[in-house]
Structure 1
Amino acid sequence: MKRFYSCALAVAMLLSFVGASRSQIQTRIQQERSKAGGLAKKLQAKRAHLNAVAARVQSLKSQLARTNAEMSTVRSQLGVLSAQERSLQARISWNSIQLAAAQKSLAFQDGLLRKRLVGIYEYGEPDYLSVLLSASSFSDFVERWQDLQLLIKANEKAVIARRNAERKVATAQRDLQRMQISLQEQQQAQQRAQNRLAALAAERGNLVAVADQQRRSAAVEVATYEELTAAEEARLEALIRRRQAEIAAEEAARRRAAGIAGNAVAPHGPIHFTWPVTGIITSPFGWRKNPFGSAPEFHTGLDIAAPMGTTITAAASGTVMMAQWYGGYGKFILIDNGDGYSTAYGHLSAFYVAAGQHVKQGQAIGAVGTTGYSTGPHLHFEIRINGKPVDPAPRLP
């Protein structure tokens, strides 16, 4: 009997100690949950900022694409201008040759006309009538008449040739001047195009610099808060595991106390879990290729694909320990199911329960989503024993 009372007293003291410890742990859990929630909100804000920056970067990329297209157009224009410049240079060279020939022809015609004028000056203008009347015969008259006609035509041709040569020289000079002006205009246009190209290149560099700076700043902020959030969530999970262990110890102590008092009860049987959502298993428990990298990773649960917004139910009754954003899990729910068991639900799109709430098996607790590190709408479901994930498949009907 004395031994019985000693054992009962020890159990009572143990339960009292466990109760006090439970209160302290629960308080710390609430504190850490509050800190984790605050960090999660800040992280969400930073992610929202990162999304805004990503949208800005996308806008800048569109601007860069337009800038590149315009730069390509300017390069094409430069190519056309260069071809036009070469063509004008060739035409100017040809006109220069024509001008030189016209000037040479003009000089020749000037020489002929000058000789004829000198002859007229030295010998006088011939009297055409005297020349004809001095003919010795009719045939001589005809010959003299033909000679005079040739002389008159030669004089007229010399004058016409002189005028034509002058016109050719004047036309060639005007064409040359016009082409030179056109070439200067083309060269100025080419220079403007080159200046525009330089301005576009500078604009492109500025856009790239702005995009890179914004992306780096946002990424650093998100990474910082992810580290802080992960550390806080790790502390919270450690406290929750400690709390689960204490609950298991408390339950064992109660059973021992009941046994000592002569009221032994059978231990709880295994928990019967139900499927939290209906869908296709896209990734089982165990080793797999990381969908976000090339290295293999150990997958700690089942991925069950289901349409976005599909209702998720509690796989077993218990107390909600977490209902918040939880790192790569995204929106995450952790339920303590008792006897060291807990169930986890990740990548949700909505919460229907809150931390501290008691839920029954089959009760709606959230909705399927694709938050956190996710490649599409699905539920990541885990069963844990004393905080360690185990394969859910053999434990589901």
Structure 2
Amino acid sequence: MKKRSILPAAVVCTLSLGGLFGYQSNASAAGDLQQKKSEIESKLSNVQSEMDKKDNQISNIQEKQASLGSQLEAIESKIQSANKKISEQEQNISTTKSQIADLKKNIAEIKKRIEDRNAILEDRARAMQKNGGGSVNYLDVFLEAKSVGDFIDRFSAMKTLVEADRQILEEQKKDEQDLKDKQASVEKKLSDLESMLSDLQSLKDSLKQDESEKSALIKQLDKQKDSLKEEKMSLSEQKSILADQKASIEKAIAFAKKQAEARKEAAAKADAAAKAQTNTNAGSTGSKAGTTSAASSASPSSGSHSGGPLPEVSSGAFTRPASGYISSGFGERSGGFHPGVDIANSIGTPVVAAADGVVFRAYRSSSYGNCVMITHYINGKLYTTVYAHLSSYSVSTGQHVSKGQQIGAMGNTGESTGPHLHFEIYNGRWTPPPHAGAQNPRNYVNF
């Protein structure tokens, strides 16, 4: 009789202690998950603060760009004004050059008149030298006159010659002064025009330089704004991931309570069965054990998969997520810190869940490409796994998955340089760059 009571007692003990996902107790599991939820809520708050900070920085840059835009409009207006003045001055220069050409002709005529007068004066001087030099002797003119009328004619002629000489000298002086004045005027106009053109060109060059610097600054601000927007998008993605993971933990808490109730109900049924078992005979016990053994030996069909066979499910908490070779390991590399391992194979190679868990994110990421993230609760601890660069995924957010169940297919999406699976494991929740919580998958999976 004592031997017959051992089996029911063992059944009760097994059902009471054996929980799904390896829960040690409902209270400790829910408490630990609640702590993880609080940590995520704190991180969400920090991410939101960072996003608000990026928004303020973007707003400040936009204000600077608006101010620079106004300055550029003012500079452009000044450049247009300078161009208009340059155009006007170029027209003035053209007109002035025509005037200068006329002045040069006038100067040439004056020079010709001066040269002609100089020739007359030189002839007169040579004649005076032949006559002994000096001025005209009016007494000689009077004595040589043959009559009073001849004298008057001679005197009048002499007076005319003297007046002509005086007039020639005065015109000579006037033309020489006029020549000097016009030459000075031409030189001044040329100097003024050159100075004016130089000033206008300097102004235009200065405005162009200012315009170029401000345009370059606007481009630089555009780059900063784009960078901030990318950072904000990254933070937004992180926020969504954390929110989804928070929801999955809440779901895990609810599931833990449900499992606890199921265990309690199973324990009650087992207790009732144990009491009933005391009234059975040893033969029926042996028959039941044989039936149980046969049922437990049955194995589910693996089915067919378009991308090839699923990787063999290994023992231990985690199994290999895909077949292939490790093309890049965990840790520092030339491009920076690598928070996981890369498993290379052909596109379409099946990718499976590394452990039982809840999908908290199945989406398209700019960096991860097609990506699935799963929350696991194993032996009282929270873990997170990430499966990135998938060609496709076949699970959805909130879905429960089993260890070895296909969740997608290997691909080359997102920031990827070839077909592979990027696989990450976190001891706890997923953490954004620099991925402080990332663990080396080789410590958990036998590759």
- TM-score w.r.t. the length of structure 2 is 0.45
1:49 alignment partner in structure 2: 57
Q: 2:48 aligns with which of 40, 45, 64?
A: 40
Alignment of 1:218-229 (within 5 A): 218-229=225-236
Q: 2:199 aligns with which of 192, 209, 214?
A: 192
Alignment of 1:65-214 (within 5 A): 65-116=73-124, 118-119=126-127, 122=131, 125=137, 134=147, 141=149, 149=156, 152-153=159-160, 155-214=162-221
* Conservation of the 8 A alpha-carbon contact between 1:25 and 1:239: no
> 1:220 Cα shift?
1.7
Alignment of 1:234-383 (within 5 A): 234-241=241-248, 243-244=250-251, 247=254
C-alpha spacing 1:86/1:144, structure 2 compared with 1 (3 Å): farther
Whole-Å Cα distance in 2 between the matches of residues 20 and 251 of structure 1?
A: 15
* Conservation of the 8 A alpha-carbon contact between 2:248 and 2:398: yes
Deviates more, 1:101-110 or 1:42-51: 101-110
> 1:74 Cα shift?
2.9
C-alpha spacing 1:22/1:253, structure 2 compared with 1 (3 Å): closer
> 1:241 Cα shift?
5.0
> 1:148 Cα shift?
5.4
C-alpha spacing 1:91/1:150, structure 2 compared with 1 (3 Å): farther
2:440 alignment partner in structure 1: none
C-alpha spacing 1:56/1:45, structure 2 compared with 1 (3 Å): same
Whole-Å Cα distance in 2 between the matches of residues 92 and 161 of structure 1?
A: 28
**Identity among equivalent pairs (%):** 12
> 1:171 Cα shift?
1.3
> 1:34 Cα shift?
0.8
Whole-Å Cα distance in 2 between the matches of residues 254 and 46 of structure 1?
A: 46
* Conservation of the 8 A alpha-carbon contact between 1:112 and 1:158: no
Whole-Å Cα distance in 1 between the matches of residues 24 and 254 of structure 2?
A: 13
> 1:180 Cα shift?
0.7
Amino acid at match of 1:166: K
2:223 alignment partner in structure 1: 216
SS at match of 1:59: helix
* Conservation of the 8 A alpha-carbon contact between 2:41 and 2:246: no
Whole-Å Cα distance in 1 between the matches of residues 123 and 229 of structure 2?
A: 99
Cα RMSD of the aligned pairs, angstroms, is 4.6
1:336 alignment partner in structure 2: none
Amino acid at match of 1:87: T
> 1:152 Cα shift?
3.0
Whole-Å Cα distance in 2 between the matches of residues 202 and 241 of structure 1?
A: 58
Whole-Å Cα distance in 2 between the matches of residues 22 and 131 of structure 1?
A: 154
Runs of 5+ unmatched residues, structure 1: 136-140, 262-385, 389-397
* Conservation of the 8 A alpha-carbon contact between 1:60 and 1:207: yes
Deviates more, 1:191-200 or 1:175-184: 191-200
Deviations 1:195-245 (A, max 9, x none): 333333333322233332233234324422431342243232243155358
* Conservation of the 8 A alpha-carbon contact between 1:64 and 1:204: yes
Whole-Å Cα distance in 2 between the matches of residues 64 and 164 of structure 1?
A: 61
Deviations 1:290-343 (A, max 9, x none): xxxxxxxxxxxxxxxxxxxxxxxxxxxxxxxxxxxxxxxxxxxxxxxxxxxxxx
1:271 alignment partner in structure 2: none
Whole-Å Cα distance in 1 between the matches of residues 61 and 260 of structure 2?
A: 56
Amino acid at match of 2:93: E
2:431 alignment partner in structure 1: none
1:29 alignment partner in structure 2: 37
> 1:52 Cα shift?
0.9
Amino acid at match of 1:58: A
1:59 alignment partner in structure 2: 67
Whole-Å Cα distance in 1 between the matches of residues 210 and 88 of structure 2?
A: 24
> 1:133 Cα shift?
7.0
C-alpha spacing 1:132/1:153, structure 2 compared with 1 (3 Å): same
- How many corresponding residue pairs? 256
Whole-Å Cα distance in 2 between the matches of residues 32 and 224 of structure 1?
A: 20
Amino acid at match of 2:56: A
Deviations 1:54-91 (A, max 9, x none): 21122222222222222333333333343333333333
* Conservation of the 8 A alpha-carbon contact between 1:99 and 1:172: yes
* Conservation of the 8 A alpha-carbon contact between 2:142 and 2:151: no
Whole-Å Cα distance in 1 between the matches of residues 153 and 260 of structure 2?
A: 153
C-alpha spacing 1:217/1:110, structure 2 compared with 1 (3 Å): closer
* Conservation of the 8 A alpha-carbon contact between 1:85 and 1:187: no
* Conservation of the 8 A alpha-carbon contact between 1:110 and 1:162: no
> 1:98 Cα shift?
1.5
* Conservation of the 8 A alpha-carbon contact between 1:78 and 1:190: yes
